Amino acid sequence: MKRITIKNAKLDVDIVRYSISSNFSEDAIKKTGEIIENVRKYGDEAIKKYTSKYDKVELDSFKVNNEEIEEAYNCISDDHIKTIKLIRDRLIKNETILLEHLKEISYLYPQSENLQRTFQPISSTGCYVPGGSARYPSTLIMCVTPAKLAGVKRIVAISPTKKDGKIDPLTLVSADICGVDEIYKVGGAQGIAGLAFGTDSIKRVDKIVGPGGIYVTIAKLLVSNIVSIDMLAGPTELVIYADDKSNAKYVALDLISQSEHSKDTLCGLVTNSHEFANKVEEEINSILAKKISRQEIVTNSLHGNGFIAISENEDSAIEFVNEIAPEHLQIMAKNELKIVKRITSAGLVLLGENTPSAASDYCLGSNHVLPTMGFGKSRTSLSILDFVRISNIVKSSKKEIKEIEPFVKIITQEEGLINHYKAVKERVRES
């Protein structure tokens, strides 16, 4: 893990993020653009071609049928189903609180004389669920549950298949339990393009949500001029702010837990203690000296992108954290409540030594689809807010038009839009 001494937060963050941002290479963007353009032109034919090329799977059709869902149920246990329902229900509980507040706002706005605002669900959404060699039924739950709760009428899920041409059974069962309307065996940039443009098999959607690899992220960016997206969710990020009184083994385990996602994850520690930094590094090395699951990925991630940032004081540490705007921020310090009040940029903040990101990824009721690559400065996790639109209805009167006419005249003259003023003036003249 690289070590830095925090001196200039912005420059230090640029150093930490360099290896990740370089993934958005011109070649990757060009390659993704070609895939998208071919899907736009040739639809299903192009999707089949790219699925064969990149996933090594030959598909006659994309849509998952009822028989495949029934078969998936036979592959999992009752405990699996209980787990899926627990994750979903905890998420519903927290999202419902937010939904109730939206209803209150909708109730208050009609009191306005000429402006009404109501919250309406979007008509359709496509949820991208990473798959292939991995399985992420939890991501399906995180994407679909708030959409369902918001009232989205058509919810589509897409996910790449395993080598046998089938989607992971637990993911299929999760989709069925959560109420997905259509499931397609499609992944990668070609899947994103299918959702954006529509094909003979896949009807286009109004919004695409969900995380994926670098090509999925680039694809979402490239189609965002024709379809809404939630965010650019890149590799997983975890920053832990800890003081010398924290549990070094917990910190080490938490960094390892997030780094096992992929070799390009960004995981690091911010502390004001060189001694504590050494303890954490010793714990990591001790754990990696033994054989652990996904060891090669963890090792490559921590050696390639992992960091320990040493701050001289709390101010510089907080400035660094806010500048990096991590996906997950764990605060494990004695004055955590004081520190959290000063955090303005993080996808999700986790307080205390018993709130690991590994738990929030699943069962704490929070959503694990979170902003990365610094977008924590402007948004937080996926929620029902991503699946509703504010409907604005305005009604004016002759009297009000007459009152605002002189002000419209002034501003339209300044902006050179005289025909705007004439449209208002005519109504005043007739009154």
Q: Among all residues, which ones are annotated catalytic?
A: 327-328
Element (H, E) at 121: strand 115-121
Answer yes or no: are the C-beta atoms of 119 and 147 closer than 8 Å. Answer: no
Both tokens of 76, joined, read 């999992």
As a whole number of angstroms, the distance between CA 103 and CA 117 comes to 11
The answer to whether residues 256 and 289 touch, using CB atoms and an 8 Å cutoff, is no
Q: How many CB atoms lie within 10 A of CB 402?
A: 13
Contact 119, 101 (CB under 8 A): no
**Residue position matching structure tokens 């050494």:** 278
111 near 60, Cβ under 8 Å? Answer: no
> What sign does the dihedral 423-425-427-429 (CA atoms) show?
negative
- Element containing residue 252 per DSSP (H, E): helix 248-259
Q: Cα–Cα distance between 240 and 247 in angstroms, integer?
A: 12
